[in-house]
Structure 1
Amino acid sequence: MLDFPVDLKQLRKQLRKQRRSLSIFQQKQAEQATYNRLIRLPEFKHAQHIGVYLHAFGEIHTSKIIEYCFEHGKAVYLPLICNMNQRLQWVRISQHQFRTRRFAPHRLGMREPMRSRGLHISRLNLVLMPLLACDNLGTRIGMGGGFYDKTLATAVQQPFRLGLAHEFQRYDGYLKREKWDQPLDALLTPPHIHRFKR
């Protein structure tokens, strides 16, 4: 496998800036196009227990996806960081909770479900993951906390790991994969679905 020397710190900084600079109109377009592709994917159609993030940093917006899940009887789970082991627990939320925005602010800037006992990630059928970059082999670069990697390391088989990203976040090459990095099964961008062999 080819290995291109990439300054990850610089790449993260550049992609964060690019995401934040998107206009409301561009974000709405990206959300709609991603949503249209997602609801046709077999992995999404068959999933009954879906983990998803609340957008906070310019990621692909997830509100339409979450509402669709409620309307079609799919259970929606949000990640909650466990302070003891820095892994994610998955807390089921109701449509009422989502619409009234009954979430707690986290010190890192995102919103979380109110403290409650969550499920292990292996109980989910599908997890929709945010990211900063993803390469041609499904290597995912996140925000740097390692929460998803630590959590997915304990769930080898399930769930199906689907990254959501803007097309400019797809890195056309190969990023260095550390032994703790957990690759994606697929990456969904507004114009494409990219599938990988894990």
Structure 2
Amino acid sequence: MKKALTGCLVVVLLAIVVGGGAAYWFIMRPAWDAGSAFIDQAKQWQQVAELDKQVRNTETFAVPQDGRLDEAQVKRFLVVQQDIIAALGNDWQMLDQRFKQMDAERKASGREANLQEVLQAYNDIAGLVLTAKKAQVEALNRNGMSLGEYRWTRQQAFAALPLLANDKVPDQFAGSSMAANAELLRGHKDELAKGMATSVLGF
């Protein structure tokens, strides 16, 4: 990383020597802003990784051989999901709208995103991930849930969610663990659907 930053600084210095004051506005300032966004982003991702270590339940989760959820697991999972959603508030929807707007503007102008825009976009996502991770860790600790149990429960729940599109589980899934999980989750369909947005962030 140091070599890359050094290389960037060399380019910037050469540009200043050759281009004078104009180089600051057209090269140095965007490069500095982009570099700052990248450094901020890296710091936030590092904090996310460190937060996993704060989960108190570190026992290895024993995955049920039949692949079926139980009511207690579902309740714990939904509590954690609700806390994450509450922590994010409207930020995720606002970010999604801004990305769509930026994309539309780029298409209209016929250009690709520049380095500063790309890094700033990832910086915004890193901020959301950090907020979500803090809420997740706090909720996991309150409910005595491990990351392993949470992730397995999420995987099983979201896998069964499509089966809830109809009032009855399709016959081809009858007797399967997915069908059993779908019936267990039927009363929580709306809560699960709302939580799908957090899965984009890895939660």
Q: Give your verdict on TM over 0.5.
A: no
TM-score computed with the length of structure 1 as normaliser: 0.21
Higher relative contact order (Cα pairs below 8 Å, separated by 6+ residues): 2
**More helix per residue:** 2
Larger Rg computed on CA atoms: 2
TM-score computed with the length of structure 2 as normaliser: 0.21
